[in-house]
Amino acid sequence: MTGRDDTPGMIAYTNARLIDPASGLDARGAVLTEGETIVEAQPGLFENGVPQNVKNVDCLGACLAPGLVDIRMHTGEPGEEHKETLATAGRAAVAGGVTTMVCLPNTEPVIDDMSTVEFVARRARKHGLAKVYCYGAITRGLAGKQITEMAMLAEAGAVAFTDGIKALVDAQIMSRALSYASTFDLLIVQHAEEPSLTVDGVMNAGETATRLGLAGIPVEAEVIMVERDIRLADMTGGRIHFAHISTAPAIEVIRQARARGVKVTCDTAPPYFALNELAIGDYRTFAKLAPPLRAESDRQAVVAGLVDGTIDVVASDHLPQDEEAKRLPFSEAAFGGTGLETLLPVTLELVHNGHLDLLTALGLITSKPAKLLGLRAGRLESGAPADLMIFNPDKGWKVTDDKLHSKSKNSPFDGRPVQGQVLRTVIDGRSVFELGDKP
């Protein structure tokens, strides 16, 4: 690939396979951008050559798609910069083809007022890498007691509301939050886990946990919370979204609720359709996630949920941890795994394994998450932001810490061979990553 575009002007991306899940486009063609905006994206464009006043980037037959939209990631900034900063998360994001990401409110201070929302947006703009939006907290200080001023937070830029990696446990508070949110058509996002069933639990409950002598987290912890909140959403008319769904029973409950018209959506993350509890092996802490890796039957149910559309979106669930937090006995190690740079290749396993076609798989990480949160992203169309990803869906590589740009290296896919490599990432018409850029 030639023609690095350091300053945005009129740029033609030619000799590409255009992939746009939003419109169903999958054809040879080209994209023309000017400044921060897409001018045209269509088959046959520049078949007779590129005008002299337009810079040409020859994609050499690679795929060109909208940049990825990741709706669930955690950054340590503000408060835990030793794990990740907006700058290091931004570098990891663009290396993985992610041009838009939405960060959780579990920071220090918590994103529960307008000043913190504005701080995150301001810091992200300064770095000029992936565009960063944020969730607002449902409750002040994530304490689960007092609802935040969600309408004001939305005006400041919060795209939806969640207590992040903490479940909102109190049914009365959740009911009030859903009712309040429905007035302004805001989305409530829940970490579906009944905490009283997870006390001291560190992995999926079952035979493997028993064999390893580890306390288990039952699948019922997830489905009980899903069933409760679906009933509350039905009662209030609010919109509920469940994050990182991982169990067969929860998926079936969501499937049935959607069939009867409840306003419910959900996402999952790559570990839950690509790994199962056996990845823990001999107490491998990089595979200690929340929710935990489940049984093979649950993994297969997640795949089925993606195939039939019950699961709307795939998110990275990027949760970086420093080395000291993971280099501990399994029961003491922190939960979480990095995921920005493996979002694309592991999602493409759904294609390589014959479960989904390329357009559908990419839709899970581009147009669908953008539509869910009302983001101006995830499309190849005239007037859209020039946020692009050029990639080879078949190129193999191995996930190792020296390949990752994230400040923390705790990937559950560490050592895994994958297919799908980002060649170039473009944000607002600027080339911000090219293969070969060092971590």
Return the structure tokens found at 361. Answer: 């798989």
Amino acid code (one letter) for 192: A
Active-site amino acid positions: 317
Q: Cα–Cα distance between 316 and 328 in angstroms, integer?
A: 24
Whether residue 340 contacts residue 73, with contact meaning beta carbons closer than 8 Å, is answered with yes
**118-125 long-range contacts, Cβ below 8 Å, gap at least 24?**
118/156, 118/157, 119/78, 120/86, 121/157, 123/77, 123/86, 124/86, 124/90
Listed residue (325, 341, 336) closest to 401, CA to CA: 341
HSE of 379, CA atoms in CB hemisphere, 13 A:
17
Q: Element (H or E) spanning 99, and its range?
A: strand 98-103
* 82: DSSP letter: T
Question: Beta strands 417-427 and 430-434: pairing type?
Answer: antiparallel
Locate 235 and state its tokens: 């009662």
- What is the Rg, in whole angstroms, of the alpha carbon atoms belonging to the chain? 21
Collapsing DSSP to helix, strand or coil, 164 comes out as: coil
User: What's the rounded Cα separation, in Å, for the pair 259 and 45?
Assistant: 42
Chain CA centroid to CA 381, Å = 22
Other residues' Cβ atoms within 10 Å of the Cβ of residue 284: 15
